[in-house]
Chain A
Amino acid sequence: MKKHRAAVLVDFWSSLVSITKEIGQGRDLIRELVIKDLKLRYSRPMLGFFWALILPLSTVFIFFVVFSLFLKVKVEEAPYILYLMTAVFTWRFFQDSLSGAASSLMDNRNLLREARFPAYLIPLSVVLANGINFLPCLLIMIASAFFMMKGLPAFVFLLPVVLAIHFLVTAGLSIVFSILYLKWRDVRYILETVLTFLFYLTPAFYSLSFVRTTLSPALFRLYLCNPLTGILNLYRCSIIKDFPGFVVPDGGIVFAMISPVLFGVLILGGSLYFYKRNRDAIYDHLSY
């Protein structure tokens, strides 16, 4: 039994090494794919890369008008606009990556048919392109938090870790969905529905404290297990100065990290394993 477990670990380790190698060898390709993605998006519109800012900002503006001015929603954790910004900006990265990546293998079947290279580099490059897209938003977010809260929390040093976790989760899900989409074209619509549902399941525009007081403790535990809630909490902890205090009753920042990290590692590892198993079928499904 023990031996078996060791063998699995060795196997996992060696496949991890081989995939890291593969990604390393494919870095020129990844760069070209990311450049291609960004060029297709921004080289023709007149405002170009500014759209990466305009779109999320307009969403934040609309949400602010609707929820704060009309519906009078109040949150105690942070100024409402900052609260919205952290949710909308990070969510957009997640949502755009997933919906872009889901059909990416199909959209790029041209490229896949030209030469043999690891197919998962394509959804990976879509996520990376969206990551670059996300950078200006991230800067605005940090700057606004700095000015509105007159400083940043001590946890700001965790931000790179949070970004990495967010990236792991997004990349893993993207790879899985892009492969699933080849076989089941319904995936795109299912994904759209699930994403909308998930957005309302995270404390994006309502207060976390409100959920804590409304739900039973057990249900609230479950609510916190949603890795996306965890990631959003982590972002807020590392950007909004007073926010870390509000997660202390739930076990603090360490606890907030458990679910996203676990999920991220599992999903990325799982997605690459899923890819390895279906590698040959991918080429078949590209044709019909």
Chain B
Amino acid sequence: MQSMTTYPINPGTDGVTSEKGSAIRIDRAGKKYPLTQGVHRGNAEFWALKNVSFEISGGKVLGVIGRNGAGKTTLLNAIAGVLSLTEGEIKVQGKVLGLFNLGVGFQDELTGKENIFLNTAILGASKQEAVDRFDAITAFSELGEFINMPLGTYSQGMRLRLAFSIITHLDFEVLLMDEVLAVGDALFQSKCYERLMDFKRAGKTLVLTTQSMDMIERLCDSVVLLDHGQVVFSGGPVETTNRYRALLNSEQFYVGPSKVARKVFENTKKWVENISEWGQKLGTKEAVITSVKFINRWGFERHSFRSRQPLKIRVVFDAKNIIKEPHFGIAIFKNDGVYCYGPNTQFDQQVIKEIKPGRSWFELTYPELLLAPGDYKVSVAIWDKNEILPFDYHSGCYDLKVMGSNVAKELLKIPCKVNGRESLPCEKVLALVFGEKTDSEKRDAGGAGSKITAAQWVDDKGIPKDVLRTGETMTLKIDVTDSVSRKDATHLWAGLFRDDDVYCQGFVSPVRGERSYHFVFREFPLLPGGYKVSAGVWSEKEHRFLERRDNVVSFKMVFDREDHGTVHLKHEWKWEFKK
């Protein structure tokens, strides 16, 4: 696992990190720059910092926020000592390291490995320390073979990986971070946060600047708001970020996310974001998921279930601290990464105020599992309120099996009635995999002599539709010619595909002399996105499609709420927290 390769954090030396006394003390700090144009130096001057005073004690996280050019970077540079003050003074207890800018300290012509040694030396580590920590640094950065490539070939994200890995594997008392984490991907970011939380617990002092208010609110103990080089406000994270937002709004700098009264969602996540993440456990570990159980309708723990049977997922976790406004999420994926369904308590507008430290549990119950037989992966997560930082996130860590045969490689088991009778399961009637196209079938498609004459969606009032709403009753009408309807032992097949060609499900009806076939879906559960329908006439005698037409209808699904995946499954949340 990841955590095994990270270098242990050395506790503070010489008792520097002890709670008493301040780790950083800034007294009336000011920095003046002359305003220059070329070589001519006028009398004009510019105060990048003016009269800044504050203190921070060891083991705390301080956030510095402000608009561009407010003096955040100048302040951090001054704390690190790579900038001299014009007036005032800054006192820092112990060693300071700073991660300022992704270009800083790196040589593009040198390889990642060579840069590690150069950088550790610049940051004051000895050769021996660099050699000792080299493996941990490379493992944490996850750069693989790229470690031997020149840095010029790196992307910004890769530079961040390297820079962050180097700096966090050295010894320090105070760590400064200047808006660099933003370029990391979500997976690496959460790894960074985890590491930062570890430092905090080890009594190190952190100073961060960022434009991410979520990060400030989650990580910081106190926050300083700078504007025009001066401290405008300092206090708790929430009150300071509120001031900042007010500042931004007052000067028309920023248009914050406003809540639209009722929005229609036209798309949603259809695939797992990062399949290589599966099996990993990420998060700040302020809450730790200790067990995840799949329970059947009789209350027994099982790993195999049947389609359309109830499924209950029970998650037990330990909260280490008081957790404010968390939300729970459970996602089911097909083992190839297709996103089936991932409800969370936030989408369901369930509000959880706070959880006290101790053992608690939550449950998600599906009365009817509308998934086709196959192997599935389940992710379980406890998120912070904005889904920025997981407290604990087990990505694809749990296997779920739906029993039965699935030769047609379907994804779903949605109920459907055709002309008043249940649709037949594909594999019972037709020994063919409908999800796959073959060349001969394509050639049969279309043409004047088509046996399928019409296909369209209508709502319950019979009005034609091509945008459908999740959860409403919809009917797919397919008409065939007389010649088909009179033929014996033929079947009509309607296949639902996502617009990325994932086969959702096929619906089959015997042809019994009628010319029009109504596939009725009650509470049609497909989630927003584009879909299409293929239709075919299957001859049981000849054991082939007499005709198959792809994409006879394409349609869109919309939903008035946010949800992830392909199919909406009815569900219910339940929880009980430590009192």
Asked if B528 lies at the interface with its beta carbon under 8 angstroms from chain A, I say no
A40-B109 in contact (CB<8A): yes
Contacts of B83 in A (CB 8 A): 283-284
B107-A36 in contact (CB<8A): yes
B110-A39 in contact (CB<8A): yes
**Of all chain B residues, which has the CB nearest A279?**
B84
Contacts of B121 in A (CB 8 A): 28-29, 31-33
- For the complex with contacts A28-B126, A114-B122, 15 further pairs of A-B residues with Cβ separation under 8 Å are A28-B121, A28-B125, A35-B117, A36-B107, A36-B118, A40-B109, A43-B109, A110-B103, A110-B104, A115-B105, A115-B122, A116-B80, A117-B124, A283-B82, A284-B33
**Of all chain A residues, which has the CB nearest B105?**
A114
| Given A31-B127, A36-B114, A283-B82: A113 in contact with B77 (beta carbons within 8 A) | yes
Asked if B81 lies at the interface with its beta carbon under 8 angstroms from chain A, I say yes
| Given A28-B126, A36-B110: A114 in contact with B118 (beta carbons within 8 A) | no
Contacting B at CB under 8 A, from A112-147, are 112-117
Give Cα distance in the complex from A287 to B35, angstroms: 12
Majority SS at the chain A contact face? helix
Asked if B139 lies at the interface with its beta carbon under 8 angstroms from chain A, I say no
Asked if B100 lies at the interface with its beta carbon under 8 angstroms from chain A, I say yes
Closest Cβ of chain A: how far from B229's Cβ, in Å? 15
Report A246-288 CB contacts with B as 1/0, cut-off 8 Å: 0000000000000000000000000000000001110110011
Closest Cβ of chain A: how far from B100's Cβ, in Å? 7
For the complex of A and B, list the 3 residue pairs with the smallest distance between their C-beta atoms, beginning with the closest: A280-B84, A114-B105, A116-B81
Give Cα distance in the complex from A281 to B100, angstroms: 20
Closest Cβ of chain B: how far from A32's Cβ, in Å? 4
Contacts of B118 in A (CB 8 A): 32-33, 35-36, 111
A39-B82 in contact (CB<8A): no
B98-A115 in contact (CB<8A): yes
Report B23-41 CB contacts with A as 1/0, cut-off 8 Å: 0000000000100100000
Majority SS at the chain B contact face? loop
B36-A115 in contact (CB<8A): no
Give Cα distance in the complex from A116 to B84, angstroms: 11
Please name 19 pairs of A and B residues whose Cβ atoms are closer than 8 Å in the assembled complex, sorted by A: A28-B126, A28-B127, A29-B121, A29-B122, A31-B121, A35-B117, A39-B110, A43-B109, A111-B105, A111-B118, A113-B77, A113-B105, A114-B122, A114-B123, A115-B122, A116-B81, A283-B83, A284-B84, A287-B33
Asked if B209 lies at the interface with its beta carbon under 8 angstroms from chain A, I say no
Asked if B424 lies at the interface with its beta carbon under 8 angstroms from chain A, I say no
Contacts of B105 in A (CB 8 A): 110-111, 113-115
Contacts of A111 in B (CB 8 A): 104-105, 118, 122
Closest Cβ of chain B: how far from A232's Cβ, in Å? 35
| B interface residues, tally (CB under 8 Å) | 31
**Of all chain A residues, which has the CB nearest B95?**
A115
B106-A115 in contact (CB<8A): no
**Of all chain B residues, which has the CB nearest A109?**
B104
Closest Cβ of chain B: how far from A70's Cβ, in Å? 41
Give Cα distance in the complex from A29 to B121, angstroms: 5
Contacts of B117 in A (CB 8 A): 32, 35
Report A24-65 CB contacts with B as 1/0, cut-off 8 Å: 000011011101100110011000000000000000000000
Contacts of B119 in A (CB 8 A): 114
Give Cα distance in the complex from A28 to B82, angstroms: 20
Give Cα distance in the complex from A29 to B126, angstroms: 8
Contacts of A29 in B (CB 8 A): 121-122, 124
Give Cα distance in the complex from A112 to B81, angstroms: 10
Asked if B330 lies at the interface with its beta carbon under 8 angstroms from chain A, I say no
Closest Cβ of chain A: how far from B131's Cβ, in Å? 11
Give Cα distance in the complex from A40 to B127, angstroms: 20
Choose one: B82, B109, B110; the contact of A115 (CB below 8 Å). B82
Give Cα distance in the complex from A43 to B109, angstroms: 10
Give Cα distance in the complex from A15 to B122, angstroms: 23
B84-A115 in contact (CB<8A): no
Contacting A at CB under 8 A, from B64-123, are 77, 80-84, 97-98, 100-101, 103-107, 109-110, 114, 117-119, 121-123
**Of all chain B residues, which has the CB nearest A284?**
B84
Closest Cβ of chain B: how far from A207's Cβ, in Å? 44
Closest Cβ of chain B: how far from A179's Cβ, in Å? 15
Closest Cβ of chain B: how far from A246's Cβ, in Å? 46
Contacting B at CB under 8 A, from A87-118, are 110-117
A110-B81 in contact (CB<8A): no
A113-B100 in contact (CB<8A): yes
B82-A112 in contact (CB<8A): yes
Contacts of B101 in A (CB 8 A): 113
Give Cα distance in the complex from A116 to B105, angstroms: 12
Give Cα distance in the complex from A213 to B513, angstroms: 128
Closest Cβ of chain B: how far from A109's Cβ, in Å? 9
Contacts of A279 in B (CB 8 A): 84
**Of all chain B residues, which has the CB nearest A280?**
B84
Contacts of B110 in A (CB 8 A): 36, 39-40
